Amino acid sequence: MFDDFFMRAIVGGIGIALVSGPLGCFIVWRRMAYFGETMAHAALLGIALSLLLETLPIWGVFTVSITIAMALYGLEKLDRLSSDTLLGILSHASLAIGLLALGFMTWIRVDILSLLFGDILSVNKTDLITIWGGGFIVLALLFSHWRSLLATTISPDIAAAEGLPTKRANLVFILLIALVIAVAMKLIGVLLITSLLIIPAATARQFARSPESMAAMAAGVACLAIVLGLNGSLIWDSSPGPSIVLGAFLLFLTSLLLAPYVRKLRKP
């Protein structure tokens, strides 16, 4: 019989997986993996800000993530450096500043490892409410803007010509990433958040035949990775966060092996 803390970890992890899977599909489609990583690294600076101002971590992470995204948007307009260069600068700078800020806060005891790699086994009932409540908001916004997000992903020019709100869709997309990172950080950590967004989506892409099916399959793969990772952590006494990522990676490798056979079966 599983202990209460383990069941809370499962429930919390699934709550994040149901959101990270569909949202991760847009990150994969838009080739924005490095953007997601930059936002995740900025989360550590958000934690430092929330501790300094004595506010809830989710608000500090959300605020800093949005600030970093807006800074990137402004720097790209200068047209002097490529997007990947700017992302690299912002990613490592925000991570370094966050670590230094936490180090200087000697009056606060901070577990750096749990921030970097997560501590999903410490999830409590309040965290579950935050995770599922935030997840519901993310999914509601995602599906209400699904058409404009998808059209903007395929071709921003065509989407604009059809009168779709492309700028609002891009802003909503950034807000959703920031919110998911803020909610998920405690579970799998700053360094591993992006993996739960990207790997399940990449796995689902091997089999999906439509954007909607890929989003649903990505959510299922992410849920399975959570269950596999936590059970593996329980059996081998390993760190839960990296175990979840390893579970997702093994599912991805399995998809690479099975995808050719599935395609053959689908051929008329």
pLDDT, tens digit only, all 268 positions of the chain: 456 888 999 999 999 999 999 999 999 998 888 888 888 888 888 888 888 888 877 788 878 888 887 777 777 666 666 777 878 888 888 888 888 888 888 777 777 777 778 888 888 888 899 899 989 999 999 998 898 889 888 887 777 777 777 778 878 888 888 888 888 887 888 778 889 999 999 999 999 989 999 999 999 999 999 999 999 998 898 888 899 999 999 999 999 999 888 877 776 6
Residue 194: both structure tokens together: 């992006």
CATH class of residue range 4-190: mainly alpha
Note the pLDDT of residue 25: 94
Alpha carbon distance 63, 110 (integer Å):
20
Alpha carbon distance 18, 133 (integer Å):
12
Alpha carbon distance 63, 60 (integer Å):
5
What is the three-state SS of 27-82? HHHCCCHHHHHHHHHHHHHHHHHHHHHCCCHHHHHHHHHHHHHHHHHHHHHHCCCC
Note the pLDDT of residue 15: 93
Note the pLDDT of residue 205: 93
Residue 55 sits at φ, ψ, to 5 deg, of -120, 175
pTM (predicted TM-score):
0.88
Nearest to 2 by CA among 225, 249, 235, 202: 235
Query: The tokens 């086994």 sit on which residue?
Result: 121
Q: Cα angle vertex 151, ends 147, 154, to 5°?
A: 145
Note the pLDDT of residue 1: 46
Residue 252: both structure tokens together: 């991805």
Q: Are 107 and 93 in contact (CB under 8 A)?
A: no
